[in-house]
Structure 1
Amino acid sequence: MPILTVFYIKLVLCLLLTVAILWTTNKQNLFAKWQRENDKLLFGIGFLAVRLLPFIGIFLLIGEDPRGDVPFFFYKAEAAKSGGFVYRDFWSYHAPLFSYVISLPLWIWHNARAIVLLMVSMETLILWMTYQYYKKKTENALQLTFVYWLLPAAFMYILIDGQEEVWFWGAALLMVAYARKHPQMYEAGIGVFFAMALLFIKVTFIFFLPPLLLIVRKPLKMVLVMAAIGLPVLGFLYWQIGDLFLMPIQHTEQLMTPNLFSVLRPFIELFVTINEKNSPMLNWVGLVFTLLIPSYMAWQHRKQHIIQLLPSLFVATFACMMLFQASAPGAYLIAYLMAVVFELIDLKNMWHMTVLLTINWLTVVQPFVYVYNKQPSYTDFSMFAVPVYLFEYLLQVISVLCYLWILRQSYRHIIRTNQSPAFA
């Protein structure tokens, strides 16, 4: 199917999903009743209607091939299934065990579609865990579940493109749940979950470590547990393949959109020319702000219990990553979108819903417009004389403003929870 046709279909799907979201937000009493009486049945119906049946229709009936990163996932999953050694025998920008995890469904169905089904299944498991956690806190948790399912970004990037970033929130949620169950002695458990995330998902999860260490009661204990798990693995990798295990870091050298650098580049280029030699410096500068802002938020409110702070700090960390890292793509919204819906959004607030829907539409539309127009780098203001360039640039600007709003909202949420009971 031609890429332009796929894009038009995505626009129609975005419109239908938005209409469904608006209907869902107006049925709070109905969803509250279902949550009290039949939540498991309704969750199953939701999964069937918004994930499984669309998967069957898109990939089995229509016969569409998976897009996005799935072909690359399939390449390394095949290599892992054949006994290849990660980084040495095949390329991977993920954690060392990720390729072996996504190779598991290939033993049952040797097809790239099996990887998409794995991603959908993992998203559903994480959403179920999220619902179970938040239904103890709010009567509209089931309604929030359906709102998330219907969000265009979640639908497109997980169901169609098979993205895995939502696993980040799964790891963070396990930490929250463990700290809730063990409110006084949680550092060892959180250290285990963090180390597992670094081994199974992506090295970029490390961005969350500095603010997390500032809010745990015994940071040294957590670091020692992580070291006990991670150092033997790193030692084994170095013994087998030398420094090839640093391959995931190379992925940070690519300049992507949208972020503060991509929208400020026309101004920056008035003073400094950005090329391949100095572009890695952008990520080092961005790294400072990516770590500094969430860490400041954590330090300022470190006396609060971890279960109050962790979800909002998680959102703030990866919102900062998307703002300040010049190599961060828009797809990373999936990493914290579920947390945003359950933790930060008021469905009755029109402004909240406007921002939520806007960033979801932009996450679907902007990458296509950017790639379809040959990935322009806005190094000169004269480029905006071309209408399509100006249009795509404005999409980036609005996206960045939405990320800033999410960051601000996460900070305000931390302040609001400052006076609330830790174990409400």
Structure 2
Amino acid sequence: MFVVVAKTIIALLCTLVVGGLVWYRTSILPWLQRQNPRLVLLGAWMVARILPFVLIFIVLDFTPFSDLDGFFNQAKEAVQLKTVYRDFYCMYSPFFPYINGLALWFWLDKKAIILLMILIEGLTLWTTNRFYEPVVNAHERLYRSLIYLFLPGALVLCVFGGQEDEWMWLALIATYLLWQRTRQVALVGVGLVIGFLLTKAVFILVGPALLLLIPKPLKWLSAAVIFGLLCLGVLYHYTEWEWLEQPLHEAATLRAPNWLSVLNPLTFDVLGAGAKAWNWIGLLLTTGIGALTAYRLRNLDFRLSFSAAFVMIFGTMMVAQQSAYSNYIFIFLLPLTFIWVDFANRREVVWFLIFNALSIVQPSLWWRLKSPYYRVPSDVWAQPLYLLDYALQIGVVICTFYFLRMVWQKSLRLV
């Protein structure tokens, strides 16, 4: 339980830092206007990412674990140029272990993968600033970047967990920026396929929303189909159907928290947790809400409409899919921070910080309790730590619904 306590302490410290940034907002914003934004952002990134990495993994020689074990083992296979899915198991997209393998060429240690994740997150933050240039002024973007860097969810999931979930956001906004620069909409389709090959299968959940937000859908969709079929043909040649079956196996794994994990014990397992039907219902709900959001906001600037749709899609997925857990906050934390949270509104800030803290403490506790899944009420109060875990699950689900409702309401006011 040392790790749970450590993450709780870090969450509290990060909350204090972000609280200070919010409390002195009116003083910090004018100061930021007088500074070199690149130097401030680089300095904050070094303090919030490189310094913790050095202290935790170099000075204290802490050994990463959890998802990093899987990432490392797959990357070692990739370094040996073995074929993904055929020669080794992988629940992620086909290029993912090979990207991680690049880090192992320089340093054969799990810590190298965390450093790679830190660097890619830094690239994602920089690209996010470029993406929002037309809709958020420079000092406000810099201020929100500082808040993001010290958020408990961002710092812990990146530096401790080495999570890759933000890669999906990076792939999508980088594709958009490339399209805007070249004016070749077909690149959107190619970029989507590349994003799918780099990240996770859930990347495709944004597809229906993009059909409503990006013009000339037939042109870029046809490019995606042609390039996608070519890539799938190569995958099938080398792995047959393993490229599909192994990632889909991940969707069958029961995790928490989500609406089913919270309600299941209250209904004495009548809901039938684990049934494939819930996967399909969650999938339809997630894509449906994303498409509805995109349709309602289709006349807004793409950066705003897409930011809303992206948060609605993956926020819904976080509570609708029975294989979802609270690490998924990392998928949509950047657009939520940059656009939708009003840091002059103390109520929203409090909710936001609670959401972040719960989302890093709950999964750590849940894993150390051997991933319990509660079937009946007596399972919950079987021991005090189960009761604590269940309370944290409820908190995460409530916070997720709060921000889904907030983004929906705020986005509709912009129409």
TM over 0.5: yes
The CA distance in 2 between the partners of 1:347 and 1:310, in whole Å, is 21
Query: 2:96 is matched with which residue?
Result: 98
1:56–1:271 distance in 2 versus 1, CA, 3 Å? closer
Give the match for residue 355 of structure 2. Answer: 359
In structure 2, give the amino acid aligned to 1:14: A
Offset at 1:352? 1.1
Equivalent position of 2:196 in the other structure: 198
Following TM superposition, by how much is the alpha carbon of 1:293 offset from its aligned partner in structure 2, in angstroms? 1.3
How far off its partner does 1:179 sit? 5.8
Identify the residue that residue 28 of structure 2 maps to in structure 1: 30
Structure 1 residue aligned with 2:280: 284
Q: Aligned equivalents of 1:83 and 1:92: distance in 2?
A: 14
- Alpha-carbon distance in structure 2 between the residues aligned to 1:30 and 1:82: 50
Of stretches 250-259 and 376-385 in structure 1, the one that deviates more from structure 2 is 376-385
Structure 1 match to 2:157: 157
What is the aligned partner in structure 2 of residue 244 from structure 1?
Answer: 242
2:131, 2:303 within 8 Å by CA — same for their partners in 1?
no
In the alignment, the residues of structure 1 paired with residue 10 and residue 178 of structure 2 have an alpha-carbon distance, to the nearest angstrom, of: 38
**Residue 371 of structure 1, aligned match among 367, 370, 375:** 367
Distance in 1 of aligned mates of 2:278 and 2:19: 40
Q: Which moved more, 1:185-194 or 1:68-77?
A: 185-194
**What secondary structure does 2:240 align onto?**
helix
- 1:8 and 1:380, CA in 2 relative to 1: closer, same or farther beyond 3 A? same
Q: Deviations over 1:185-211 (max 9, x none)?
A: 563232222111101111110111111
The match for 1:262 is: 261
Which SS does the other structure have where 2:164 is aligned? coil
Q: CA deviation at 1:273?
A: 4.2
Equivalent AA in structure 2 for residue 321 of structure 1? M
Q: Please, which of 321, 331, 335 is the counterpart of residue 331 of structure 2?
A: 335
The answer to whether residue 302 in structure 2 is matched with residue 306 in structure 1 is: yes
- Conserved? CA contact 2:318–2:324, under 8 Å: yes
CA 1:54–1:190 in structure 2 vs 1: closer, same or farther (change >3 Å)?
same
* Alignment check: 8 A CA contact 1:93 1:249 kept: yes
The aligned amino acid for 1:120 is: I
| Inter-CA distance 329–357: structure 2 relative to 1 (3 Å threshold) | same
1:2-401 correspondence to structure 2 within 5 Å = 4-28=1-25, 29-134=27-132, 136=134, 137-138=136-137, 139-178=139-178, 181=181, 187-246=185-244, 247-269=246-268, 271-274=270-273, 279-386=275-382, 387-401=384-398
Q: Is the 8 A contact 2:258 2:322 kept in 1?
A: yes
Q: Which runs of 5+ in 1 are unaligned?
A: 419-424
CA distance in structure 2 between the partners assigned to 1:76 and 1:173 by the alignment = 27
| Alpha-carbon offset, residue 375 of structure 1 | 2.6
Q: Which amino acid aligns with 1:329?
A: Y
1:23 to 1:253, Cα distance in 2 relative to 1, 3 A: same
Whether contact under 8 Å (1:291, 1:317) holds in the other structure is yes
**Cα pair distance change 1:178/1:36, threshold 3 Å:** farther
CA distance change for structure 1 residues 248 and 221 in 2, over 3 Å: closer, same or farther? same
Structure 1 residue 384: Cα displacement: 4.0
Say which SS state the counterpart of residue 48 (structure 2) adopts: helix
Q: Is this contact kept in 2: 1:35–1:142, CA < 8 A?
A: no
**Residue 409 of structure 1: which of 406, 409, 413 is its match?**
406
Q: CA deviation at 1:319?
A: 0.4
Give the direction of change, closer, same or farther, for the CA distance of 1:281–1:44 in structure 2 (3 Å limit). same
In 1, distance between residues paired with 2:329 and 2:206? 15
Instruction: Quote how far apart the aligned CAs of 1:412 are.
Output: 2.1
**Ranges in structure 2 where 5+ consecutive residues have no aligned partner:** none
Q: Give 1:240's aligned amino acid.
A: Y
Does structure 2 conserve the Cα–Cα contact (< 8 Å) formed by 1:179 and 1:307? no
| Conservation of the 8 A alpha-carbon contact between 1:313 and 1:410 | no
Identity of aligned pairs, percent? 31
Q: CA deviation at 1:290?
A: 1.0
**CA distance, structure 1, for counterparts of residue 369 and residue 237 of structure 2:** 45
Cα deviation, 1:302-357, whole Å, max 9, x if unaligned, reads: 33343331111011100011111000121111011111100111111111111111
Shift in Å, 1:272 = 4.6
Q: Distance in 2 between matches of 1:303 and 1:186?
A: 21
Number of corresponding residues: 410
Distance (Å, rounded) in 2 between the aligned partners of 1:181 and 1:236: 30
Secondary structure in 2 aligned to 1:37? coil
Residues 215 and 298 of structure 1 are in contact (CA less than 8 Å); yes or no, is this contact kept in structure 2?
A: yes
Range that drifts further, 337-346 or 224-233: 224-233
Q: What is the one-letter code of the residue matched to 2:255? A: M
Give the CA deviation at 1:365. 1.5
CA contact 2:264–2:270 (8 Å) conserved in 1: no
CA RMSD of superposed structures (Å): 1.9
